[in-house]
Amino acid sequence: MNETFISEENGYYGEFGGAYIPEMLRQNVESLRSVYHQIIESDEFRTEFKRLLSDYAGRPSPLFLAARLSNKYGAKIYLKREDLNHTGSHKINNTIGQILLAKKMGKTRIIAETGAGQHGVATATVCALMGLECVVYMGETDMLRQEPNVKRMEMLGATVIPATCGNKTLKDATNEALRDWICNPENTFYIIGSVVGPHPYPDIVAKFQSVISEELLVQLKSKEGTEDPDIIIACVGGGSNAAGIFYHYINRKKVRLIGVEAAGDGVDTNRTAATICVGDTGIIHGSKTMLLQSDDGQITEPYSISAGLDYPGVGPIHAWLAKTGRAEYMNATDTEALKAAYELTRLEGIIPALESAHALAVLGKLQLKSNDIVVVNISGRGDKDMQAYTEALKMFTGETV
């Protein structure tokens, strides 16, 4: 990890970020804010974080030159293989960091919210590792849709509590988790899964995920003789895998940074999750950022085939990178992502997560040059998405898997 955090002291990235929270949460958030720098930057913490990232999660994740994909798009395309991490995505980087932070703060009970269940599984995993009590809030609708992940969390020893209000999805699970945290401020640590929520969470999560670009600098130097690719591409739900792979490149202005949002059925339909593309500024989950809202300021339901990208807000760091023009934000529809997933699978023998497939889906929309070096972050593996992939194959070719 480098020494600097990106946001300024109160958690603002330009006009975005901050901590817009009810008075009842102020003390919980403040007790975290007042200690996190010191803990995360201590030698003891860094040593233990590094050890678990390597020996438990399997880092560094490989940087793979995808030869056949490169040939197809006429550029040199590398894949950053976060799909090879323990539990199958980049999420474990963050949960390892936050569980260590919780332990250093003397907390004995962990809570989390989860949508698709990926963050819930990563949290339940590190709680088992550390022997801490784990409670995961999950919308009742999501529990039915993502049953294998519910079973995984339970096998890992977590208690999964259904959120039964509203649409019974992620937003409702988040409200339940916040309520729990307010009632249990002494012993409970709330592990948030992306670069969202009130300051200091976006700052903390970006920092833990920055290991991705820290490794990329070294790996690219050894393979290409330069630390800097021409283009970095990552999908954006809340934005943590993108923040992680952008992190050390934000001040290297020659490197083009591209975030890819989920367009769902299309950005001109109301079934989309492309927050930066079609949203406006507002406040969601304690942070000032871009979000999907109706004309009267109600948060609207996002839609994407990919559960991990189906979030109505986006981390404030991305709202800022978009506003300042430092990063570009594109989008890919469900169908484009499904096609890109099949393409990677058939060309390279790698089944990506549906989320990651959105990043791959913009390769054909860029005017790449033959000497361009492009890095695509493969945020996770596709095992969890086999049902969607199987249905898609019928749609494309009539074939069945």
Ligand X SMILES: *Cc1c(COP(=O)(O)O)cnc(C)c1O
CA–CA separation, 34 and 28 (whole Å)? 10
* Least Å from the CB of residue 91 to ligand X: 6
Closest separation between CB of residue 93 and ligand X, Å? 10
Q: Which is nearer to ligand X, 7 or 379 (CB)?
A: 379
Among 86, 368, 178, which residue's Cα sits nearest to residue 94?
A: 86
Q: To the nearest whole angstrom, how small is the minimum distance from the Cβ of residue 170 to ligand X?
A: 11
Q: Which residues make Cβ contacts (< 8 Å) with residue 109, sequence separation at least 6?
A: 132, 133, 134, 135, 184, 187, 188, 189
* Least gap, CB of 158 to ligand X (angstroms): 17
For residue 205, count other CB atoms closer than 10 A to its CB.
Answer: 30
All residues at 6 or more sequence positions from 317 whose CB lies less than 8 Å from its CB, including other chains: 6, 7, 13, 16, 17, 195, 202, 206, 239, 243
**Measured from the CB of residue 373, what is the shortest distance to ligand X in angstroms?**
22
Nearest to 73 by CA among 338, 396, 366: 366
Residues that bind ligand X (CB under 6 A): 89, 91, 118, 194, 235-241, 308-309, 353, 355-356, 379-380
User: Judged by CB, which is closer to ligand X: 70, or 93?
Assistant: 93
Between 66 and 122, CB nearer to ligand X? 122
Phi-psi region of 253 (alpha: psi -120 to 50; beta: other; left: phi over 0): alpha
**CB nearer to ligand X: pick between 11 and 237:** 237
d(CA 199, CA 242): 18
Asked if 113 is an active-site residue, the reply is yes
Catalytic residue among 61, 194, 304, 379: 379
Chain residue at closest Cβ approach to ligand X:
380
CA 92, CA 45: separation in Å to the nearest integer? 16
295 φ/ψ angles, rounded to the nearest 5 degrees: -60, -30
**288 versus 381: smaller Cβ distance to ligand X:** 381
Least separation in angstroms between residue 231's CB and ligand X is: 18
Tell me whether residue 197 or residue 229 sits nearer to ligand X (CB atom): 197
CB atoms within 10 A of CB 369: 9
Q: Which of 70, 82, 89, 91 is catalytic?
A: 91
Residue in 113, 176, 215, 336 annotated catalytic: 113
Sign of CA dihedral 316, 318, 323, 326: positive
Q: What residues are annotated to the active site? A: 91, 113, 379
